[in-house]
Amino acid sequence: MTTLSSPSPAQSHKNLPLYVFLTTLLWLIAYNVIQPLADWVSYTAFGLARDSRFGESLAFFLYDVPKILLLLSGMVFAISIIRTFFSPERTRAMLGGKREGIGNVFAALLGIVTPFCSCSAVPLFIGFVESGIPLGVTFSFLIAAPTINEVAVIMLFGLFGWKVAALYVTSGLVIAILAGIVIGRLKMERYVEDFVWQIKSGAGQVLDEKLTWNDRIERAWESVKEIVGKVWLYVVVGIAVGAGIHGYVPESALVGIMGKQAWWSVPAAVLLGIPLYSNAAGIIPIVSALMEKGASLGTVLAFMMAVVGLSLPETIILRRVLKPQLIAVFIGVIAVAIIFTGYLFNIIL
């Protein structure tokens, strides 16, 4: 009598590259069939007219939900592989000893590939201060990490192409670098809570974890399950809002509010975005619908960057280590930079 046994850990690890290849192949097939499938369900199976409001909204919803979830899953997997090479300890060590200016540039670039979430803001801030990293350099990192959101980059690339994604990354980098320099020049160390300066530094110990590629792939897969599991509802809600805008909001109304002709549209979009909170997965579908209706790119990107970059939860969390004066400067400098970026994009595009 024979019994079936589960594969050994060694066998499972050996098969991981094959699983990744097959999953990638299925991903590519699925990504290329969702558009015709969404149209078939909306206009053939349900018999809706192509120019009807509900038909357009339903087709938008059925296409964008799987497309964005596929983009999100692929992006999280790729970024999670990159993340395995960057720990908070290693990040602090790489930024340590960097001068202002060069340090701001390096910190902002590092913030792109180390996309820590809002809950990491306080421990990262304390760790940077412990390491002797200048306050302005620290802020360049803390601004770049959420503002240049990896979800937003991949989704903007998938929805609008590389030019829009590149503009988003470039503007985010410039904002993070300049805002960090401004905050550093203002010499606002006195507005950091006293207990932060009193913490004994443990930053001299850099923990290097030896990981194999199989370990990295397994961690990336776990990240996909965890992150997608947390944000899928935001994706669905965001796309539902976007589908409603796509099908029911008149084009003239949005152009009047968020078009280039309305000089006040950029600051209004930023002011609206500051108190709102959504992750990039939830806001990108709304951005897509707004742009399809004729809203200007600069205004829409300013709105998105305010929602994502001036995250209300992160601001509340940072209040534990920053005094209100520095919080106000932090918000004000970024808001002004985003408004300027929105106007610039509207002028040049």
Question: What residues contact 301, with CB distance under 8 A and at least 6 apart?
Answer: 164, 167, 168, 171, 287, 341, 342, 345
- Residue with the bigger pLDDT between 280 and 321: it is 321
Which carries the bigger pLDDT value, residue 78 or residue 105? 105
CA distance 102 to 338: 22
Percent of the chain whose predicted confidence (pLDDT) is above 70: 71
Q: Which residue intervals of 84-133 are DSSP H helices?
A: 88-95, 102-113, 121-130
Q: Which range has highest mean pLDDT (62-66, 123-127, 195-199)? A: 62-66
Q: Is the dihedral of CA 182, 184, 187, 193 positive or negative?
A: positive
- How far is it, in rounded angstroms, from Cα 103 to Cα 96? 9
Question: Average pLDDT, whole number, for the chain?
Answer: 75
10 pLDDT above the threshold of 60 = no
Amino acid at 202: G
Answer yes or no: pTM beyond 0.75: no
Contact in structure between 293 and 243 (CB atoms under 8 Å): no
Report the C-alpha gap between 114 and 132 in whole angstroms: 20
Could you tell me which residue, 148 or 96, shows the higher pLDDT? 148
Confidence label for 98 from pLDDT (cuts 50, 70 and 90): low
285 or 173, which is more confident: 173
Q: Is the pLDDT of residue 227 over 60?
A: yes
**23-82 per-position pLDDT tens digit:** 889 988 988 898 899 989 988 888 888 878 888 888 888 888 888 788 778 777 876 776
**The pLDDT of residue 201:** 45
How confident is the model over 178-200, as a mean pLDDT?
A: 81
286-310 pLDDT, tens digit each: 777 777 777 788 888 888 888 777 7
